[in-house]
Chains A and B, each alone.
Chain A
Amino acid sequence: MKKITIKIDDKKITCAEGKMILHVAQENGIEIPHLCDHPDLQVKANCRMCVIKIKGRNGLFTACSTPVEDEMDIITDDREIRRSRKTNLELIFGEHHLDCENCTWGKRCGLLQYQKPLRAKITRFSNRKEKRPSKQFGPIIFEGKKCIDCRNCVEVCPVGYYEIEKRGIDISIEPSTNKNKDCVYCGQCIVHCPAGAIKSDGEFEEMEKVFELKKQGKVLVAQFAPSIRTSIGEEFGMPYGSIATDKLSAALKKLGFDYVFDTSVGADFTTTEEAGEAIERILSGKDLPIFTSCCPSWVKYVEFYHPHLRKNISHARSPQMMLSSIVKNYFAPKQKIDPKNIVMVSIMPCTAKKYEASRPELNFENGLKPIDYVWTTRELAWILKDKKIDLKTIKDDPADNPLGDPSGAGVLYGASGGVMESALRTAYFRLFGRDLQKVDFEQVRGQDGVKRAVVRLCKPVKFGGDKCVELRVAVVNGLKNAKIILDELKQDPKKYQFIEVMACPGGCIGGGGQPLPINEEIRKKRSASLYQIDKTKKIRLAHQNPQVQQVYKEFLTDKKLTKKMFEVDFKPEGKSKIKIKK
C-alpha cells in the first residue's frame, strides 16, 4: 500500500493511504475520543464523538470514517471540536442509566473517561430511557436503559440475534423473536458494548451468596479457567498479557475458598478423553469430522442451527465439568468431605459457561450439579476489589494439589488452536504408544479466524519405520467463521476429520466474560502468554500429567465409570425464552 505523509496536531506522520484518521492517530499515540468505533467492527460513525478538523476544509469530520490523504493537516482538538464532543457526550448521557458500581467496564468506560476532560455535565439531560426494560435470554441480560444505540452488538453477534426496531427516538435494539433465531450466549455483545448495557446473569450482585454458604458450613472449592491467568491482571492495572496464575490462586484462597484447583487440569482430562475418541472415530470413520465440545456456545450453535451435525460433537465433557467430576466424586470422598457439602465455583472467561453449568444433562447420577456457580473473570475481579484484595501485590500461592498443576497442553486451551494442539500431542501417543519429541504445532496457532492444516504424524524411524497418519484438521475462532467451514463440509463432507471451534475471536482469551476492553492486540498478548507458559512447563503433554495418571490409576479403573464421569449426551431444548424485567 502507498505510504503518505500527513500531519496530526502538527506532528508529521507517515502512514498507509486509505486508513481512517482515527486509527492512524491511535497508532501514533494520539487519542481521539470515540465510542462506537471498535477495531473488530466496521466503521459506523454513529456516536459522532471523534470529530476533528482538516485544514483547508470546512466543517468537522468524523475521524473514524474519514480516510487519510496525502498532506492532510489534521487538528484533533480545539474549542469548537471540544464543544461538539461535549454536547454529544451530554446527549449520550441523556440516554444512559448510570450504574457505575455494577458495570462490566468497572468505571473504565469511554463515557466516563471523556467526561472529565470535556467538562461534560452527566446530568445535563435526564435519562430519557429510564423506563426501558431489561431483557434476559439465557445468561445474557440486555439493559435497554443503558443502551446508547451504537449498534456494536448488532454487528458483532455471530447469529444476528439482535434486531434494530423502530426509527428515530424510538429506535431500540431487541433480541429476536424469530423462532429460527436464538442467542448462543457467547457474550461478544458484552465485550463490544461501549456503554456496559449488556452483562451476564449474576454480574455483579450474586457473589456474596457463596460466602453465606461458607458460614453455613459448606466447603468452597474454586477452579479457574486456562485463559484467566493472562487476563485478570488487567483489572488490577497489570500490563496486557501478565501471567498471574499463582496470584490468582492466592487471591482465591484469601477470598475464602478452601480449595483452589486449576481448570487446566480438567483440560488435561478432556484432552486425554477427546484425543482417544478422535483417534477411534478417525480410524473407524464414524461420525466424522469430530467437533470439539468444550465451547458451550459452539455446542448450542450446532444444536440450534445445524442439528443434523449434533452427532459430530465429541462426547467429552468440557474441562470445568471434568474437573468437577473428579473433585466431587474422587477428591471429596478421599478427603472425607460429603460432595453435597461442596460448593464448586468456576471462574470462567465466558458467559456461555453459566448456561453450560445449568444444563441438567450434566448432573451426576445422584442429581448433584457439577458446578454450583460460574463467575466471569470480571465478577472475580469485582469481588476481589470489593474485598480489597489487590491481585497485583498479593504473594504467589500455587493452586492445590492433586488438581492444581496442569501440563502445558492444558493451559493452551485458553487460546484458539490450543485444544487441537493438545489433542494432537496426545493423539500421537494414542497412535504410536510413544510421546512426541517436537510438540509444537505452529499450523494451528494464531489469531486467524480459520486455520486449516494437514498434520502428518509419523512413527519415529528407529521404532519400526515409516508408519504415518495424516490428519485433516481445521481450527475456527469466531462463530461467524464457523459458517465458512460448515459450508466447505457441505461441499465435501470428508474435507476434515477433526475440527476445533471456539465461538469467541482468538478463543477463550477473547471470551465474553473477560475484562474490557478487548481487541486483537489485547487478544494476541493474552494468547502469547499462554504459549509462554506452555513453553516453560516441564510436562507439556496432557496424558503425561502425573495428577491425571494418578486419577486414572486410582479412580477411573473401569470404562463405565469413566463414561459417567467424563461423557455427556446433550438433549437440546428449543429457543430460549426472553424474560422481561421492568
Chain B
Amino acid sequence: MKFINKIQVANLKGRGGAEFPTAFKWLSVAKGHLKEFNQPVFVVCNGAEGEPGMFKDGYILQNYPEKVIEGIKIAMDTLGAEKGYIYLRQDYLKKFKNHLKKYIGKLPIELTAEKIGYLGGEETTLLETIQGDRPEPRLKPPYPTEFGLLGCPTLINNVETFYQISQIQHNEYKNTRFFCISGDAPKKGVYEFPVDMSIGEILKRTKNVPRFNYFVQVGGGAAGEILTKEELNKPLIGAGGIIIYNLKKTDTKELIKKWVNFFFDYNCGKCVPCREGLYRLKEMLQKNEIDMVLLRSVLRTMRDTSFCPLGKSVYLPIDSMLESVKVNYKNKRDTK
C-alpha cells in the first residue's frame, strides 16, 4: 500500500495510451482482492504494441528488460499476485524470449503470445486470448481489476508503465515518457522527454522539424489525430507516437484508405457499427464519388456506439484529416 501511495505521488499514468492513473488501477486490484480474498490475483504486462508507428515498448524490452521484470515483480509483491504474464506481439516474443527469460529466472512469470494483432492489445481481448477463448473484447463493467483473468482481480499495465514503476522504486522517476518518431522524419527513433513537453518542442529537440510542408499524426499510426504544424504547441496525449508526413509526397486519400483497411483487417466482428461500418467505409472509399454526409454519419456512429476502442477510434484520424488537411474527395449528393 505504501508503494501505491508512491505511485500516486509520482502521478504516473498508464503508458498504453489510455492514460489511466496507475495508482487507481493498482488500488482497484487490491480492493478486488480484499473482496474475494480466496481468489488469486494476476499481473499482466501488455507488450502487444499493435499500433503502426509505435515501437517504444520494443525499445524498452530490448534495452531495459531487467527494469520491466522488476516492475512486474513489484506489482506482484504489492498486490500478492500468484502469477505474472508478459503478453507480447509475436515478433517481440521471438526476439526477446531468451533475453527476458534470463531476467525472469525462477519468478512465476510466463511469456505468452498475442494472437490476432492490434485488437489483441485491448485489455479485455488480451484476457480472452490468455484464457484461450475467442479473442474479443468483453463487456465492462466488471473491469479486469475486479474480474479479470479467469474472473480474478487482474492488473494489466503496459511495458513502459512497468519500466516506470521500477524507476519510482529507485526514486529515479522524472516524469518522463518515451516517444516514437517516424514517418518522413529525418531522425526517426525513440526518445525520452518530460510528459508535458509540447509536440513542437519534441520535434525541435530531436532535430525533426521538417523543412518541407508537413502534417503529423500523433498518438498512433492508425488511431492518432492529425495535426498541422500550427497545432503542435501542446503536449501529446494518448499513445506516444509522432509520425511526420510530407504533405507534397503524401496521397491523403490513400492514407485514409490505409487506415480504414487497417481497422477493417483487425476488427473482430462482434458489434454492428464496427463490423458493418468499416465494410461500408471501405466500400465508399473505393468509389470515385463519395457521399460525405453518409461517410460522416457512419464515422460518427462508429465513434459513438462501437463496443470497444477499435471501432470508436476510426473517427478521429479521418475527421481530423478532413478538418486540417485538404483531401480531394468528389462529393456525391445523397440521392434520397
Contact = CB atoms under 8 A, between A and B. Distances in A.
A168 B301 contact: no
Interface in A34-73: 43-49, 51, 59-60, 62, 65, 67
B276 A83 contact: no
B134 interface: yes
A87 B265 CA distance: 22
A168 B264 contact: yes
Interface in B233-276: 264-273, 275-276
A62 B307 CA distance: 9
B264 A167 contact: no
A87 B301 contact: yes
Contacts of B231: none
B305 A88 contact: yes
B280 A48 contact: no
B121 interface: no
B301 A88 contact: yes
Interface string B285-309: 0000000001001101100111100
Interface of A is mostly: loop
A91 B273 contact: yes
B305 A51 contact: yes
B134 A164 contact: yes
Contact of B276 (A60, A92, A170): A92
Contacts of B283: 125
Given A51-B305, A60-B304, A168-B264, A65 B139 contact: yes
Nearest to B139: A65
Given A43-B139, A169-B269, A170-B269, A91 B280 contact: yes
Contacts of A62: 305
Contacts of A47: 271-272
Contacts of B134: 164
A171 B301 contact: no
A242 interface: no
User: From DSSP, what is the main secondary structure of chain B's interface residues?
Assistant: helix
Contacts of B7: none
Contacts of A43: 139
B269 A149 contact: yes
Contacts of B270: 46
B326 interface: no
B277 interface: yes
A128 interface: yes
A92 B265 CA distance: 20
Nearest to B119: A167
A149 B272 CA distance: 8
A37 B67 CA distance: 46
B129 to A, nearest CB: 13
A80 interface: yes
B306 A48 contact: yes
A92 B298 CA distance: 12
Interface in A408-447: none
A567 interface: no
A128 B276 CA distance: 10
A214 to B, nearest CB: 47
Contacts of B272: 46-49, 88, 91-92, 148-149
A125 B294 CA distance: 11
Contacts of A164: 134
A248 to B, nearest CB: 39
B181 interface: no
Interface in A61-117: 62, 65, 67, 80, 83-84, 87-88, 91-92, 94-95
B147 interface: no
A166 interface: yes
Contacts of B297: 83, 87
A20 to B, nearest CB: 11
A557 B336 CA distance: 75
Contacts of B268: 167-168, 171
Nearest to B276: A91
A166 B298 contact: no
Contact of A167 (B269, B301, B307): B269
Nearest to A62: B305
A83 B294 CA distance: 11
B336 A121 contact: yes
A394 B268 CA distance: 52
B264 to A, nearest CB: 7
Given A51-B305, A94-B280, A168-B268, A88 B273 contact: yes
Most chain A CB neighbours (cut-off 10 Å) among B270, B276, B277: B276
Contacts of B307: 45-46, 48
Contacts of B278: 168-169
Nearest to B268: A167
Contacts of A80: 304
A79 to B, nearest CB: 12
A94 B273 CA distance: 12
B191 interface: no
Contact of A128 (B279, B294, B298): B279
Contacts of A95: 276
A80 B303 CA distance: 12
Nearest to A91: B276
B269 A166 contact: yes
Contacts of B116: 167
Contacts of A125: 276, 280, 283
B300 A83 contact: yes
B276 A171 contact: no
Nearest to B307: A45
Contact of B275 (A49, A121, A169): A169
B4 to A, nearest CB: 26
Contacts of B271: 45-48
Interface of A: 43-49, 51, 59-60, 62, 65, 67, 80, 83-84, 87-88, 91-92, 94-95, 121, 124-125, 128, 148-149, 164, 166-171
9 contacts: A45-B307, A46-B271, A48-B273, A51-B305, A91-B277, A91-B280, A91-B298, A121-B336, A168-B275
Closest 8 pairs (CB-CB, A-B)? A171-B269, A91-B276, A87-B301, A48-B305, A168-B269, A168-B267, A60-B304, A84-B301
Interface of B: 116, 134, 139, 141, 264-273, 275-280, 283, 294, 297-298, 300-301, 304-307, 336
Given A48-B273, A168-B265, 19 more contacts: A43-B139, A46-B271, A48-B271, A48-B272, A48-B306, A62-B305, A67-B141, A84-B301, A87-B273, A87-B277, A88-B272, A91-B272, A91-B301, A124-B294, A125-B280, A149-B272, A149-B275, A168-B275, A169-B269
